[in-house]
Amino acid sequence: MVRTTRLGTSKRSVLAAVLCCGLAPAQSSLSVASKIVTSANDFLSSLDEGQRSKVLFEFNDAAQRMKWSNLPTTMVPRAGLKMGDLSGPQRKAAMGLLAATLSQRGFEKVLAIVEGDEALRVASGGRGSMFGRDLFYISILGKPSVKDPWMLQFGGHHLALNITMAGLDGILTPSLTAAQPAKYTVDGKTVRPLGAENDKAFALINALDEGQRKQAILNYRVADLVLGPGQDGKTIQPEGLKCSAMNLSQQAMLLDLVAEWAGIVNERAAAVRMAEIIANLSGTWFAWSGPTTNGMPAYYRIQGPTLVIEYAPQPLGGDPTMHIHTIYRDPTNDYGKKSIRR
Amino acid sequence: MRRMGIGALLALSLPEGAAAHRLDEYLQATLIGVTRDATDLEIRLTPGVAMLPVLMAVIDQDRDGRISPEEERAYVGRVAREVELRVDGVPAPLSLIESQFPTLEAMREGLGTIRMKLRTPRSGHTLRFENRHLPQVSVYLVNCLAAPSDGLVVTRQKRDEAQRSIEFEYSFGAGAAPEPRAAWIALAPFWPAAIGMLLAARMAVLIYSGKHDKRTSKSSTS
């Protein structure tokens, strides 16, 4: 459902029409929310009493809500249920819940990140016990409901999905996606979990004219995420090129890039989110640090009134392009705080 | 390149987990918070796994392999002396508000972050911050926090290439930043373009999905 609180009727109608025709699938918000709740209850039903007590938390459990990191779970322990401790059917039910909550592309991206960690485990040999697909955790805060707020968390090394379901809204912020290795092969096929985030950004920076690039490219190195894990509630002064100084084609490229994060969640929730980001596009900034040739390590940030995205290659003992961290935030609605108030 | 080479060598020789986090750099991240009557510096110091011996040589003054409360205080004091804040061109005295040290074990694993908060009861219109602490082994981040609810407006941000220093001008407007409603209304002339972009983005997504689906059907990653 489109957020309607402050929109005029005509704009609301136009937006609704556009979203219905353009972005959102035919399913209603209620049916999407119902499907997610059903999947959550299916997962919970597959667990025994002890497992349920481990996976369920109070919705207001602030400590659990903020217990996420880019680091391996052996270093920064997560609570909830570990994938490696689930039976086959339980694991399938957990993945079913994730699939119902996310878009197909988002689900595939998450699987690619998880499998990347599995590839890291295999490549690390005896030193790989802190990596792998078995070391990802799932937790649920609150009682799954189409009416009352609840939250699904799924994460581990290089992944933290914090999805707040507030009525019919699905809020994905804050979430962290990352990849190491950023490129690996499965059955001879190359997988790049964050390849689109890289390629679309390089396409955008190279679509800017010289004057625009001069504004967008920062004159300093950015060695890490500024607003990564542990930096909830903070916002920094924006820099770079303002989107109002981009032409329509460049703005469309930027939105397409933003959709790599906003589109992780299911299509209905993503459509609402993208509409909000578009509404604030004129106040959104694009900043870049590093070379502009694809294949080289470069940091970028997209920041608007309701959006912070950072993409940061990590120079940790090797090729920075093979180790990427990203963060996705909404400073006005992280953990669904705005939606819950409504 | 030299740093990358060293890093690759270290990755081969360091303990399990070293590949997961910072190695041969000392990350010094500073967030600057300005209000109408004070300026805060929130500094996070994260030594990479290979940096701990370097840092211990600085912190562990009695060389007993531990960090005592006195050594913590001395180190935090040193950092405070090696950063400089100028408000309207005049050096501003900084008081330590709080500091927090991680365990040595956490730092050995590259997970430990030293946190400290400094404050000066001064505010003005221009600010310059510089961090001169351990430049040979450090990488820096420095940013000014946004405070739209206070009407903070920051302009002319300038940094050096390594982000050891930042300077900017700032002022405080009448109050709260525009609500989202104002943003929607301000966008009115932009609506046709926004709709076009939305559809263009959707088309791009569909094209991408089509290609992606083809790829996916050829190879599954799970």
Task: Name the residue among A287, A286, A285 with its Cα closest to residue A218.
Answer: A287
Report whether A201 contacts A311 (CB < 8 A).
yes
Task: Name the residue among B130, B117, B128, B103 with its Cα closest to residue B47.
Answer: B103
Environment class of A125 (CB within 10 Å of its CB; exposed 0-12, middle 13-18, buried 19+): exposed
Report whether A224 contacts A314 (CB < 8 A).
yes
| Predicted confidence (pLDDT) per residue in B57-90, tens digit | 999 999 999 999 999 999 999 999 999 999 999 9
Cα–Cα distance list, A85 to A24, A89, A135, A151, B187 (Å): 36, 12, 9, 21, 51
Whole-angstrom Cα distance, residue A39 to residue A152? 12
pLDDT for A322 beyond 90: yes
CA-based torsion, A223, A228, A232, A233: positive or negative: positive
Residues A298-306, mean pLDDT to the nearest whole number: 97
| Predicted confidence (pLDDT) per residue in A9-41, tens digit | 344 344 444 444 445 554 677 889 999 999 999
Q: What is the pLDDT of residue A2?
A: 32
Put simply, the chain B residues between 32 and 71 with a CB less than 8 A from any chain A CB are 48
Residues B126-144, mean pLDDT to the nearest whole number: 96
Q: What are the strands, taking DSSP E only, across A8-147?
A: 56-57, 81-82, 137-141
Q: What is the pLDDT of residue A5?
A: 35
Q: Mutate which of B21, B169, B205, B209 to test chain A, going by most A C-beta atoms within 10 A?
A: B205
Put simply, the chain A residues between 261 and 290 with a CB less than 8 A from any chain B CB are 263, 274-276, 278-283
Name the residue with higher pLDDT: B148 or A16: B148
Average of per-residue pLDDT values in chain A: 90
- Long-range Cβ contact pairs of A230-233 (< 8 A, separation 24 or more): A232/A66, A232/A174, A232/A334, A232/A335, A233/A331, A233/A334
Q: What is the pLDDT of residue B1?
A: 38
Q: CA of A259, closest CA in chain B: separation in Å?
A: 8
Q: What is the pLDDT of residue A16?
A: 41
Whole-angstrom Cα distance, residue B8 to residue B2? 10
Average of per-residue pLDDT values in chain B: 78
Set of chain B residues whose Cβ sits within 8 Å of the Cβ of A188: 219
User: In percent, how much of chain B has pLDDT > 70?
Assistant: 68
Q: What is the pLDDT of residue A318?
A: 76
Environment class of A206 (CB within 10 Å of its CB; exposed 0-12, middle 13-18, buried 19+): exposed
User: For residue A325, what are the contacts with CB-CB under 8 A and spacing of at least 6?
Assistant: A70, A158, A176, A178, A224, A225, A228, A310, A311, A312, A314
pLDDT band at A339 (very low <50, low <70, confident <90, very high): confident
Q: Smallest Cβ distance to B194: which of A75, A239, A281?
A: A281
| Nearest residue on chain B to A306, alpha-carbon basis | B180
Q: Does B164 touch chain A (CB under 8 A)?
A: no
* DSSP conformation class of A42: H
Judge: B20–A275 Cβ closer than 8 Å, yes or no.
no
Q: Does A60 touch chain B (CB under 8 A)?
A: no
Q: CA of B141, closest CA in chain A: separation in Å?
A: 7
Cα–Cα distance list, B101 to A38, A258, B6, B46, B159 (Å): 45, 37, 27, 10, 28
Locate A256 and state its tokens. Answer: 């397409």
Q: Does B157 touch chain A (CB under 8 A)?
A: yes
Range with the lowest mean pLDDT among A2-16, A41-55, A256-270, B12-26? A2-16
pLDDT for A142 beyond 90: yes
| Predicted confidence (pLDDT) per residue in A155-199, tens digit | 999 999 999 999 878 999 999 999 999 999 999 999 999 999 999
CB neighbours of residue A14 within 10 Å: 16
User: For residue B95, what are the contacts with CB-CB under 8 A and spacing of at least 6?
Assistant: B118, B119, B120
pLDDT band at B204 (very low <50, low <70, confident <90, very high): low
Q: Does A239 touch chain B (CB under 8 A)?
A: yes
Whole-angstrom Cα distance, residue B27 to residue A228? 14
Helix (H) or strand (E) holding A41: helix A29-45
pLDDT for A342 beyond 90: no
pLDDT for A306 beyond 80: yes
Put simply, the chain B residues between 13 and 32 with a CB less than 8 A from any chain A CB are 14-25, 27, 29, 31
Q: What is the pLDDT of residue A11?
A: 41
User: In percent, how much of chain A has pLDDT > 90?
Assistant: 82
Q: Does A256 touch chain B (CB under 8 A)?
A: yes
pLDDT for A212 beyond 90: yes
Q: CA of B210, closest CA in chain A: separation in Å?
A: 11
Q: Does B205 touch chain A (CB under 8 A)?
A: yes
Set of chain B residues whose Cβ sits within 8 Å of the Cβ of A236: 31, 143-146
Whole-angstrom Cα distance, residue B171 to residue B153? 5
Q: Does A41 touch chain B (CB under 8 A)?
A: no
ipTM over 0.90: no
Range with the lowest mean pLDDT among A34-48, A124-138, A189-203, B185-199? B185-199
Residues B18-31, mean pLDDT to the nearest whole number: 78
pLDDT for B9 beyond 50: no
Q: CA of B124, closest CA in chain A: separation in Å?
A: 17
Q: Does A112 touch chain B (CB under 8 A)?
A: yes
Cα–Cα distance list, A297 to A156, A290, A291 (Å): 24, 7, 7
CB neighbours of residue A265 within 10 Å: 24
Q: What is the pLDDT of residue B48?
A: 86
Report whether A220 contacts B143 (CB < 8 A).
no
Q: Does B105 touch chain A (CB under 8 A)?
A: no
Judge: B160–A234 Cβ closer than 8 Å, yes or no.
no
| Nearest residue on chain B to A193, alpha-carbon basis | B221
Q: Does B140 touch chain A (CB under 8 A)?
A: yes
Whole-angstrom Cα distance, residue B52 to residue B21? 13
Angle, helix A9-18 to helix B191-218, in steps of 10 degrees: 20
Whole-angstrom Cα distance, residue B27 to residue A243? 31
User: For residue B102, what are the contacts with CB-CB under 8 A and spacing of at least 6?
Assistant: B111, B112, B113, B114
Report whether B141 contacts B160 (CB < 8 A).
no
Residues B204-220, mean pLDDT to the nearest whole number: 48
Judge: A315–B25 Cβ closer than 8 Å, yes or no.
yes
Q: What is the pLDDT of residue A29?
A: 75
For B190, list phi and psi in degrees, rounded to 5: -90, -10
Set of chain A residues whose Cβ sits within 8 Å of the Cβ of B7: 315-318
Judge: A318–B7 Cβ closer than 8 Å, yes or no.
yes
